[in-house]
Chain A
């Protein structure tokens, strides 16, 4: 088997000005320039984007889903961070 598979890249696309880049998928390419062109051809054939980011997949560090409960735990018991935690009298407007 060919050991020389092209590296894997993750593709992020800004669908229009004012919106953030969003992950859309991945592809293989020999280098960044080719990844960019392939991303255009694979993910924006119908004007789905105005800007593309490509990042080699090996550079992405992800949180571990097995530890998600503990990892996100600190935010779980802080209801006072949400506006709905506070009782505002009905007569008070603009708040």
Chain B
């Protein structure tokens, strides 16, 4: 196959590299649409990590033991770290941290809708780890091979840390399920509330996801939403059974022919409603973010002033 590189348009050369699984690096030529889509996808992901700290932070002071508290603190710190890895990756595409945060705070940029649901009981910490992080892992593992180098490298780091998150969540659920009836009830109740929102994390149905084809072509998405949702259900139903819990979907049934679980239809009206900002906690989450940012402004300014002053002092000393 001797097609000379110069016979191809930049777009064709770019696609050829992607098809050959050659990673794209920050200074390489790329189509504007690829750059824009990636900035949107990576920053949205970073925002999700950042906002994702809020529902769990809610429970740090009320964790049932010192051990659980230490674990939860470490997990929330990891989420902050994941946000930072991802913001750094997005910045290599030419956007700035300030711009991304401004877009989050103005509501222009989205984050995962799952964090717009409240965490009402300690069992919710179990569900967030077990289900929400479980779903996140399914989404994220394929992204370790995504076509944009800095994004893929950030995802490798994220995935390494994420499996602890899922396991600690499962352990919380298991402990509750092996405890008193009232504890098991709490676990079941949390599963009832988190199951469907977690299925929504994979995004709209393939038939309603017009950008999927282009994203798969660019290898910034490696499985479709429906494929991942199916995988998740197949993974989770047996785990729920192990815990002695019931997934809140009467349509869940093993399909021998498909070698997969059948399951019911997600409430898409609720999905779009939360995406549009009408979820239970949209307002509260964003407000908490903006408040933290604004109240931290003096710290950011003071650190810069301190650095400038010290630099000036060093210059005089020399």
Q: In the complex, which of the residues A1, A6, A42 contacts B300, with contact meaning CB atoms closer than 8 Å?
A: A6
B98 and A26 within 8 A (CB): no
B304 and A30 within 8 A (CB): yes
B156 to chain A, nearest CB (A): 11
Residue B84, interface by CB 8 Å: yes
Question: In chain A, what residue has the closest Cβ to B302?
Answer: A30
Cα-based distance from A28 to B300 in the complex (angstroms): 11
A65 and B98 within 8 A (CB): no
In the complex with contacts A1-B98, A27-B84, A28-B97, A65-B307 CB distance below 8 A: no
In the complex with contacts A25-B85, A25-B153, A45-B77, A6-B27 CB distance below 8 A: no
B26 to chain A, nearest CB (A): 9
Q: How many residues of A contact B (CB 8 A)?
A: 21
In the complex with contacts A1-B98, A34-B303, A62-B77 CB distance below 8 A: no
Cα-based distance from A34 to B311 in the complex (angstroms): 14
Contacts of A56-81 to chain B: CB distance below 8 A: 62, 64-66
A78 to chain B, nearest CB (A): 22
Cα-based distance from A64 to B77 in the complex (angstroms): 37
Cα-based distance from A31 to B310 in the complex (angstroms): 9
Chain B positions 142 through 184: 1 when the CB is less than 8 Å from some CB of chain A, otherwise 0: 0000000010011001000100000000000000000000000
B88 and A30 within 8 A (CB): no
A25 to chain B, nearest CB (A): 5
Residue B81, interface by CB 8 Å: yes
Cα-based distance from A42 to B29 in the complex (angstroms): 30
Report which residue of B84, B91, B96, B157 has the largest number of chain A beta carbons within 10 angstroms of its beta carbon. Answer: B84
Known pairs A25-B154, A31-B311. 13 more at Cβ < 8 A? Answer: A2-B297, A4-B300, A25-B85, A25-B150, A25-B157, A27-B84, A30-B304, A30-B306, A31-B306, A31-B307, A45-B74, A45-B81, A65-B27
User: Which residues from chain A sit less than 8 Å from chain B, CB to CB?
Assistant: 1-2, 4-6, 8, 25-28, 30-31, 34, 41-42, 45-46, 62, 64-66
A-B contact pairs, 13 of them (CB 8 A): A5-B96, A6-B300, A6-B303, A8-B91, A25-B85, A25-B88, A25-B89, A26-B88, A27-B84, A27-B88, A42-B85, A45-B77, A65-B27
